[in-house]
Structure 1
Amino acid sequence: MDRKTYKKKSKGRKLRKRFLIILLPLLLVGFIAIGYSVSLYVKAQDVANESYEEVQNSDKRDEVVDPNVDHVSILFLGVDESDKRKNASGFEGGASRSDAMILATLNNDDKSVKLTSIPRDTLAYIPEVGIEDKINHAHAFGGPKASMETVEGLLDVPVDYYVRMNFYAFIDVVEALNGVEVEVPFDMEEMNSDDSTNAISLKEGRQLLNGEEALAFARSRSYDSDVARGGRQLEVMEAILDRSTSVGSISKYSDVIEAIGNNMKTNMKFEDMRSFISYATNSDLKVDMQTLEGEAVTYNGIYYYEAYEEELANLRADLQEHLGMSDPNGTPEAEGSQHPAVENTEEPEW
């Protein structure tokens, strides 16, 4: 077994702005729902209704949660869809893999939020197919429900809601805002949305990116790492947020809402989304961001990211407490954690 230990990084930063970044699809809808105009309110409601996709309630819940009064969790899935990815070896004609996965837990008593980033290559048991594999493959095997069940097994907490955003929302939203400004850390040659090689050329430095360039910037992982890639994705979302909240962009909200709606699916209804406005408008909002810590491993010649056992146990206990769950007197290991033969699914290095 080849092992390379990742340097542990503290992610416990209280970042109100980062919370807004992650919840951009919801908060733009909720933000418009509060004011500006009746027409935008109706459009936001229509978008929410069209994006709704029912999913069975979590087996870890005895009753259906009410986000107005209960502590809840939301799984954010970023998917990178194209014909090439959909038809990759082992996934022909199936759903796409998730390229970004963040679990948000929201405590309604103190209006605090914990954002847990789960690396896309994390080794996890996938109930949908009964094997251990990279956690981002769960979505390809069974869509959002399979991803939710896999995260529930890994972190031992209920996943109440999901929000799935196609990364091509980056293109549509950025174009609606006439571009976003980011800091390009080095020269890049990347594929475009049609996967044409070296179609996007970016030079080092701060600059205004169009939609295609923003997508290439956000999804590149050829030059550094998945951790750095996640940072670029957050930077694009932050730039989108900054641009969308500027006075000059208010007139473009209709286009932004439409762009989000065309690329979002969720099991939240419009009234559920509106309930989260109380978090965003709370001046005492506390946000902690953390990453599932682990190390690189190789099984059967395939690279995985494996969570440290002690860190995983501590993370489970922390999230359970945040959701107000009773202490289970020792968190049990997640199902399938004894490393049965993992699925030897090759994955292209996009």
Structure 2
Amino acid sequence: MRRKRRKVRWGRLLLLLLIMAGMVWGVVRGAAYAVQSFTPPAPPPKIVKPVSPYADKAGKRITLLLIGVDDSTNQSSVAKGQADALMLLSINPEDNSVNLLSIPRDTMVTLPGRQGVERLGQAYVYGGAELTMRTIEHALQVPIAYHAALSCQDFAQLVDLIGGVEIYVDQNMNYEDAYSDLKIHLNRGYQHLDGLQAGQYVKYRSDEMGDIGRMQRQQIFMKALAEQVFQLEIVTRLPDLWNHAGEYLKTDLTPSVAFKLLTALRSDSLSKMRVELLPGQAVSLEGQWYWKADEEHARQVVNELFYANNGK
């Protein structure tokens, strides 16, 4: 007896094929999603900083520009105001030698892209840290790799963060300026300064030395601050302090470079640190006072601080 052929139900077959195709498509899509999810993202494009034309001559030295920004408007911001304090910190990681050069804010310079002479402090007003770095590089022919800027209010908070600084105040300091809400009252003698008092100490200039005396005290304070940071109880807190410092400090320092700087400063280099003021004299031009660098003497000092004994 002949067996009956079963009738192909094309509707069911088509439905089955569609279901199978959907399953295959789902597997493929799922695999693609899994690969996409677990594949590490492409690294962000590397930001390449412009190379200074003086970099080769500097060897392996690392030069950092420290900028104190005037915030007399009582706004804690490094984005406003002019540069009130300028220092070049140079460290040779090969022998851990450390040098510091103070540059008067009223130094007579020519700003890139502008005509005529200006005070160096104005560079920060026109172009922030970048223009300030370029101006100093051009004027002194020194490669500056990094910068760190903070306002006076941020400076005070940063000093409080490390617990204040022990320092000898060389004279009684009393001065008030209602316009900028500045009040300075410090007694002569060895004492522990908190952030507010430290700000008064580094800003005081109401004596016969004026700005020169103020810059000398800023240099003394920087050294005392560094010594305070590397006391044992502070060293153990450095990672946490570095994280908090980011709230106050505007810098392009990378953690690896910061570690190199800290390593150098933790040696006995602080006791041997050479501190200089940009050689020059005060001059008057069209009713305005400037600090005019002594080119020959300044070149000698710059060579000794930033180019001598450089490893290649």
Q: TM-score, normalised by structure 1?
A: 0.62
Match of 1:221 in 2: 205
- Whichever residue aligns with residue 290 of structure 2, its letter is Y
Structure 1 counterpart of 2:68, which letter?
A: G
Instruction: Please report how far the alpha carbon of residue 145 of structure 1 lies from its aligned counterpart in structure 2 after TM superposition.
Output: 0.8
Q: 1:78-117, CA deviations, whole angstroms, 9 ceiling, x for partnerless residues?
A: 222232699xxxxxx9732112212233344444333222
Please state whether the residue corresponding to 2:110 is helix, strand or coil.
strand
Asked whether the 8 Å contact 2:120–2:132 carries over to 1, the reply is: yes
* Equivalent residue number for residue 347 of structure 1: none
Unaligned runs of 5+ in 1: 1-53, 87-92, 327-350
C-alpha distance 96-207 of structure 1, shift in aligned 2 (>3 A): same
* 1:114 corresponds to 2:99: yes
Cα deviation 1:174-215 (Å, max 9, x = unaligned): 3334443333333333459993254x4333333333322221
Q: What secondary structure sits across from 2:60 in the alignment?
A: coil
Matching of residues 178-197 of structure 1 within 5 Å: 178-191=163-176, 195-197=180-182
- Maintained 8 Å contact 1:124/1:135: yes
| CA spacing shift, 1:82–1:222, aligned 2, 3 Å | same
Q: Which residue of 1 aligns with 2:278?
A: 292
Maintained 8 Å contact 1:128/1:146: no
| Secondary structure, aligned partner of 2:98 | strand
Alignment check: 8 A CA contact 1:102 1:117 kept: yes
**Counterpart amino acid of residue 81 in structure 1:** D
Tell me the residue number matched to 1:312.
Answer: 298
The amino acid of 1:82's aligned partner reads: S
Q: Would you say the 8 A contact 1:123–1:304 is kept in 2?
A: yes
> How far off is 1:297 after superposition?
0.4
Q: Tell me whether 1:83 sits opposite 2:73 in the alignment.
A: yes
Q: CA deviation at 1:292?
A: 1.4
Q: Secondary structure at the match of 1:230?
A: helix
The answer to which of 224-233 and 242-251 deviates more is 242-251
Q: Helix, strand or coil for the counterpart of 1:189?
A: strand
3-state SS in 2 of match to 1:115: strand
Aligned residues: 264
Contact 1:74–1:162 under 8 Å retained in 2: yes
Q: Deviations over 1:301-320 (max 9, x none)?
A: 11111111321333454467
Name the counterpart of 1:57: 50
What is the distance in 1 between the residues matched to 2:68 and 2:112? 21
State the alpha-carbon separation in 2 of the partners of residues 77 and 195 from structure 1.
19
Q: Which residue of 2 aligns with 1:211?
A: 195
Identity %: 26
Residue 126 of structure 2 corresponds to residue 159 of structure 1: no
> Hey, which of these two has a bigger chunk of helix by percent?
2
* Contact 2:102/2:215 (8 A) holds in 1: no
**Structure 2: any 5+ residue segments left out of the alignment?**
1-46
Q: Which has the higher contact order (CA 8 A, sep 6+)?
A: 1
Which residue identity lines up with residue 191 of structure 2 in the other structure? Q
Describe the superposition over 1:14-61 as per-residue Cα deviations: whole angstroms up to 9, x where unpaired.
xxxxxxxxxxxxxxxxxxxxxxxxxxxxxxxxxxxxxxxx79424416
Distance 1:193 1:252 in 2: 38
2:148 pairs with 1:135: no
TM-score, with structure 2 as normaliser: 0.68
Distance 1:233 1:282, change over 3 A: closer
**1:277 shift after superposition:** 4.2
Distance 1:129 1:324, change over 3 A: farther
| Kept after mapping to 2: 8 A contact 1:191/1:216 | no
Going from structure 1 to structure 2, the CA distance change for 1:95 and 1:128 (only over 3 Å counts) comes to: farther
Amino acid in structure 2 at the alignment position of 1:209: L
Change over 3 Å in CA distance of 1:301–1:116 after alignment to 2? same
Residues 191 and 257 of structure 1, relative CA distance in 2, 3 Å threshold:
farther
Cα shift at 1:282: 5.0
Distance 2:237 2:267 in 1: 26
Paired with 2:301 and 2:235, the residues of 1 have a C-alpha distance of 40
Q: What's the Cα RMSD here? A: 3.9
**8 Å CA contact 1:79, 1:99 repeated in 2:** yes
Per the alignment, residue 35 of structure 1 pairs with none
